[in-house]
Structure 1
Amino acid sequence: MPGARRRNPTTIAVTGATGQLGRLTIEKLKTLLPAGEIVALARSPEKAELGVETRAFDYDRPETLAPALAGVARLVLISSSEVGKREAQHRAVIAAAKAAGVGQIVYTSLLHADRSPLSLADEHVATEAALAESGIPHVILRNGWYAENYTGAVPAALQHGALIGAAGAGRISGAARADYADAAAIVAADGSHAGKTYELAGDDAWTLADLAAEVSRQSGKDIPYRNLSEADHAAALVAAGLPEGLAAAIAGWDVGASQGALFEDGRQLSALIGRPTTPLADVVRAAL
């Protein structure tokens, strides 16, 4: 239109772009912004195939990070998948963002990170502190559990005739991974959320017994929930082929769930994304 003023383009970059959450975040961003305003950051950019510009971005090579952030106005920092290395990796990214002049960081943290009993919390708390120290305007998205964290156990439950865990009757406010990705994309594209911390979780909480009942309903098989001690759950996971350290961590997270660590009823996630979060039945259907 003659005389119309085009808005200034804003480049938004997403770390971990080839990961499950990163891919979904970029797909949502592509519905909100022109693809030319989105940058995917990935350790192996040749694997990306996301339909946007992709730049090499390796957390463990800090000297390469700032150049990859050139021209980026807002950065979605998706937490690293390498538990135990996260704090150092995230600090390297934050330092690079400051050097590159990034105007805002959106960080995917952990639900109630500042008071969570989960072993995952410490590195998220440290990253939140690093963001505060950096002086870069930022948004904290404290993500609850992905429902897929539990529905990933559905095939084994069907094979063995029971869903096992150590979460007792703990209520889990899980949401689909896509729900959290939509929130990250919406907040990054909007740009007006700096200084805010959101506790993000599903609208409806459920227990592992509820999950087992839903699997039973949809599969037509009787799949009960069998609650184990933390030690027995870890041992069962090791027997199923998981490394001891990971098995112990998963069992510990279940115990945290039994203590309310994964429950949140503020419905901030559905408010951000403008729709109800994905029902458990839909996530189970996808898993089946």
Structure 2
Amino acid sequence: MIVITGATGQLGRLVITELLKTHPASELIAAVRSLEKAQDLAALGVTLRQADYNLPATLDTAFQGAEKVLLISSSELGQRIEQHRAVIAAAKRANVKLLAYTSLLHADTSPLGLGVDHRATEALLQESGLPVVILRNGWYSENYTVSIPTALAHQTLAGCAGDGRIASASRADYAAAAAVVLSTDTQAGKVYELAGDEAYTLTDMAAEISQQSGTTVKYLNLPQADYQALLLQAGLPEPVAALLADSDSGAAKGGLFDDSRQLSKLIGRPTQPLSHAVANALNAG
């Protein structure tokens, strides 16, 4: 049995979709906080079990009979380390044969503030003594393409990434990688640095948006504090605005770049290029 935590999240659902290509639904367990939000997964034959990172007893029940567990990192800023600690402890009590964790690209050296929680979690994983595989996911292309409607409306793509190169990939690409790792043996002890095949700057992205949309969009590079203020003005919560501005600043320092192509090698195909990511966003809009 394979347990996927956070299974109703954007990445979790995609991982299950990928696993269903090679595994019967009866072998998959969706560990979710809300059973109501996972009824579509139940309709596919996937077993639902309630699991709350803040309630360890639910994790013990969710992990019963699990051979492998995918710990998708929590999205709750300020709580993640303790939540991850609870999941790791439950996985150890369940004697799982493999615990996979979605970390951050080059977490050990990343200039992004996000790296703090991931480094702490990786340390907990190593201390646990469990068979562990770490998926250091780079940036999701969707993190940037979600801003395309705003960029078109103002003819400006704002950020503070400077000329930093961003090797992003789609969530589907990272989900495919997780599915491969969960479906193959001899993964324990491995650390994957996962990023897109193609790197681009936000200036490149603005040019791609312009070409495909027919509306000229320019990249406006701002100081980190000014970009954070702009995000706050747009209505984002303070922690989210701070995180995005910090991540852009980290990109300027090379924190979102990797050219090892481990992701495409793992999934056996090229990752989604920027042109396709922009096209998908424009078509969705």
TM range (shorter): over 0.9
Distance 2:223 2:117 in 1: 26
Matched, 1:26 2:16: yes
1:53-72 alignment, distance < 5 Å: 53-72=47-66
Percent of aligned pairs with the same amino acid: 59
Cα displacement string for residues 165-198 of structure 1 (whole angstroms, at most 9, x for unaligned residues): 0000000000001000000011001132110001
Residue in 2 that maps onto 1:136: 130
* Equivalent in the alignment of 2:247: 253
Residue type of the alignment partner of 1:29: L
Query: What is the rounded CA distance, in whole Å, between the counterparts of 1:234 and 1:168 in structure 2?
Result: 15
- Give TM-score scaled by structure 1 length: 0.95
Matched residue pairs, number? 278
Please say if 1:42 is aligned against 2:36.
no
Stretches (4+) displaced over 2 A: none
Q: Does residue 225 of structure 2 align to residue 231 of structure 1?
A: yes
Unmatched 5+ stretches in structure 2: none
Task: Work out the CA distance in 1 between the residues paired with 2:61 and 2:9.
Answer: 22
**Within 5 A, what are the aligned runs for 1:207-218?**
207-218=201-212
Work out the CA distance in 2 between the residues paired with 1:279 and 1:151: 12
* Structure 2 CA distance for aligned equivalents of residues 101 and 216 of structure 1: 52
Distance 1:90 1:176 in 2: 24
Query: Aligned partner of 1:43: which letter?
Result: R
SS of 1:276's partner is: coil
Q: Distance in 1 between matches of 2:211 and 2:138?
A: 25
- Write the mapping of 1:110-259 to structure 2, written as runs, cut at 5 A: 110-259=104-253
CA contact (8 A) 1:83 1:120 kept: no
Once superposed, what is the RMSD of the aligned Cα atoms? Answer: 0.8
Shift of 1:85: 0.8
Cα displacement (A) at 1:232: 1.0
* Structure 1: distance between partners of 2:123 and 2:229: 35
Taking structure 2 as the reference length, the TM-score comes to 0.96
C-alpha distance in structure 2 between counterparts of 1:247 and 1:40, whole Å:
31
Give SS of 2:75's match. Answer: coil
